[in-house]
Amino acid sequence: MSGLARAVEEYLAIRRALGFKLDQHGRLLPTFAAFLDDAGASFVTTDLALGWAREHEVSLTRSRQRLSMARGFARHLATIDPRTQVPPSTLLASGARASRRAVPYLYSSEDLAGLMIAARELRPLQAATYETLIGLLAVTGVRIGEAIRLDRDDLDDEHSLLLVRDTKFNKSREVPLHETTLAAVHDYLRRRDELCARATGPALFISTVGTRVSYKVVQPTFARLCERAGLQPRSPRCRPRLHDLRHSLAVSTLLDWYRSGPDVGALLPRLSTVLGHTDPASTYWYLQAAPELLALAACRLQRAAQDLS
């Protein structure tokens, strides 16, 4: 095994120990090391990283993803080998297209009410499942994949908690539930058992045939509910998505904090814990999601600066 191949293994092991899954990285970065070895290189160069990213004439989006993986590995390697060149983030960027993160679609209370009404128009079991699923996503901020994987036993009635297992970073967390949310979930369980007695598995949310709901069915169903509720894209990069229910909870929580006056910096780790972020810095991204939130944060900073002057 070459030195670069060993370095890839060490890099992946370190990042996985921090909780990252890195499935694609695990498949592709060894091929990057092999590409470098075939080129006779003993360290990473920008030209070789770009060549590997564009190998096999993959799409521009795919090339960017591959280059991002190579860049992360190069940053790690640069701490060990000063000859390493870290490819600049501007490579393969094209103006506004360089930023590919979607703009969050922040749902208002009216939007959520419209989605609930639309869900009730589905067939009885579907109606119960989607109304409860959407409600749970909106008030807890759990990811859709986490919600789909929930089992009945993940409800802790005694402590009003929801146990979220197998999260994005291979860690479990407990999410507090309001008593009304817990009651709504139990109402759903009673209703689904009446409508589908053959559901014998552990899944919390079930399909019309009694099996665990799947994302490939939930996503298009949610898109149809958005159409029925009259939710339209606000821009090419701002369309209603399931994941934006999570964004909306985060932004509304931060808005409430900034308006009511507590120390947001001190409270932020709580929100990060509920959302399953490994670092509060990830939660700070939501400050960019709503102009009103950014303005409130700026005012708070300005007042703090005036107090110090």
Structure tokens at 23: 């499935």
Exactly one of 192, 246, 247, 258 is catalytic; which is it? 246
Exactly one of 15, 16, 54, 168 is catalytic; which is it? 168
Exactly one of 15, 173, 191, 243 is catalytic; which is it? 243
Catalytic (active site) residue 243: yes
Catalytic (active site) residue 143: yes
* C-alpha dist (Å) from residue 46 to 36, 53, 83, 187, 282: 11, 10, 11, 58, 28
Exactly one of 64, 76, 143, 192 is catalytic; which is it? 143
Alpha-carbon dihedral 204, 210, 212, 218, rounded to 10 degrees: -100
Exactly one of 11, 105, 130, 286 is catalytic; which is it? 286
Catalytic (active site) residue 246: yes
Distance (Å, rounded) from C-alpha 3 to C-alpha 111? 55
Catalytic (active site) residue 188: no
Distance (Å, rounded) from C-alpha 283 to C-alpha 112? 23
Catalytic (active site) residue 247: no
Positions marked catalytic:
143, 168, 243, 246, 277, 286
